[in-house]
Chains A and B, each alone.
Chain A
Amino acid sequence: MHALAGLEQADGTAVLDGEDLLPLPPQRRRVGVVFQDQRLFPHLTALDNVAFGPRAAGLPRAAARRTARSWLERLGVADLADRRPRRLSGGQAQRVAIARALAAEPRLLLLDEPFAGLDVGVAAALRIELTRHLAAFDGVTLLVTHDALDALTLATVVAVLDDGRLVQAGPRRRSRPGPAPSTSPVWWASTSSVRATGSGRSRRPRSLSRCTRRPTPAATAGAASCAPQRHTATPSGSRSPASRT
């Protein structure tokens, strides 16, 4: 995941909209990340955190703040605009983090275990909301989770990694963990790629695929298969997800 965002080196290719992301520096990839620990800037208010992307894109301060406020409203946390991250609860911080990532208008949105560490009730509510926000998002979303529920409720395409190997990939309905996974499987779920295909905004399906020397089974247009070599965060003890896919 960090390799797709450009925060770690990776071999191979990661094609998005016909363009290989890997040679680009992270700030030019337009890949938004909702980090597992959010990484909201502690010295900025929630509003300025969300305004960071628009400002980096060259918007003047006032306009960036207007954009940020509308994103906070969409995520239902506009009343927290003036709070520093230290004074946000886990669920609130996660909402601000999602608003911040979306406000930068990414082409690809990466969600790293977005519900991990949240109270069960908060996670359930946020999962439902996220479905709505992702439906309105005109890009590919890649979600990594250890919870099958996330993959099955949010994804249109699911890839299952087990101990670093891609064991299944395909449309949501047919995916379930392979027989007797050795560790808890990692679900790479992509939402919205199919929706984007049908949205009419672009004829060409948005695609995110990865090819190493051998073609991967899931590297088909419109599906998100994934992932870079050597690494990315998969806390289940699988050392190198996808390196052998």
Chain B
Amino acid sequence: MSRDPLGRAPLVLLAPAALGVLVLVVPLLALVAATEPATLVDQLTSEAARQALWLSVTTSTAATLVALVLGLPLAWVLARVRLRARRLLRALVIVPMVLPPVVAGIALRAAFGRSGLLGEPILDLTGFAFPYTTWGVVLAHVFVAMPFLVISLEGALRSTGSGYDGAAATLGAGRWTTFRRVTLPLALPGLAAAMVLAWARSLGEFGATITFNGNYPGTTQTMPTLIYVERQADGDAALALSLLMLLVSVGVLVALRDRWLVTA
């Protein structure tokens, strides 16, 4: 540690900080320690785990893309358009973030269930219903993950400032051109971080997914739901699957750290 010109950091701050690190790290280390290598290999090669992992990764990725297509314009509106109802709009966007996931699942049911507010007309028109399908999983993921994307992206758009937008306007660029050639490129680092955040939230999503879609292997059974089911039947298997999720999550962090997640 290099010498700090302001003097040593006080113990009253260092001690809780160290304790905080322990709380965050010990459970993960315990997870690694408790897993038997043999069960890990078994689980990794099991059909159920392979299916669930694949479903988790694909639905999370799809949900992140949907959240991007809808959330980027929404973040732009919040950051750049003079709206009287901006605070209200932002509050509405944040609600799913603070909502218990189970409640989110129930709410999705009320809206998109077979007899839901939108679900019924959709079913009548197209014969398609979201619940218990992979699309339903994606929908649930979008619902819980998009707020994270929108809020962090709005922050990124605000921090780049509207000064450059104004400069572009004086050079004759309309708002769409300005968005494409100035606003978006300047917000790219924030955009990447927002997408990672949404993807991670989506990968771990459990409550809304299982409430809205049930738990069908191959179509709606994602890793967290599989782990939950295994936990009730076979503790060791749940440990191994959890470790697998941990590895995937850490792997993503490591893969992206240099490009996007360095803020200092």
Docked complex: A1-53 residues within 8 A CB-CB of B? 2, 5-7, 25-33, 35, 37, 39, 41-43, 52-53
Docked complex: A80-95 residues within 8 A CB-CB of B? none
Given contacts A41-B182, A43-B185, A27 and B172 within 8 Å (CB-CB): yes
A–B pairs, 19, beta carbons within 8 Å: A2-B166, A7-B170, A25-B169, A27-B169, A30-B172, A39-B167, A41-B167, A41-B186, A43-B186, A52-B168, A53-B172, A56-B171, A56-B172, A56-B173, A56-B174, A100-B171, A101-B170, A101-B171, A104-B170
A149 to B177, CA, bound (A): 39
Size bracket, chain B contacts: 10 to 19
* B174 contacts A27, C-beta separation under 8 Å: yes
Docked complex: B144-200 residues within 8 A CB-CB of A? 163-164, 166-174, 177, 181-182, 185-186
A32 in complex: contacting residue of B163, B168, B170, B186, CB < 8 Å: B170
Tell me if A57 is interfacial: C-beta within 8 Å of chain B. Answer: yes
A101 to B166, CA, bound (A): 13
* B186 contacts A42, C-beta separation under 8 Å: yes
Residue of A28, A31, A53, A56 with most partner-chain B CB within 10 A: A56
When A and B form their complex, what is the total count of cross-chain residue pairs whose Cβ atoms lie within 8 Å?
Answer: 60
Given contacts A52-B181, A56-B177, A7 and B171 within 8 Å (CB-CB): no
Size bracket, chain A contacts: 20 to 34
* A57 contacts B167, C-beta separation under 8 Å: no
CB-defined contacts of A28 to chain B, threshold 8 Å: 172
CB-defined contacts of B170 to chain A, threshold 8 Å: 5-7, 26-27, 29, 31-33, 101, 104
B164 in complex: contacting residue of A2, A39, A56, CB < 8 Å: A39
CB-defined contacts of B164 to chain A, threshold 8 Å: 39, 41
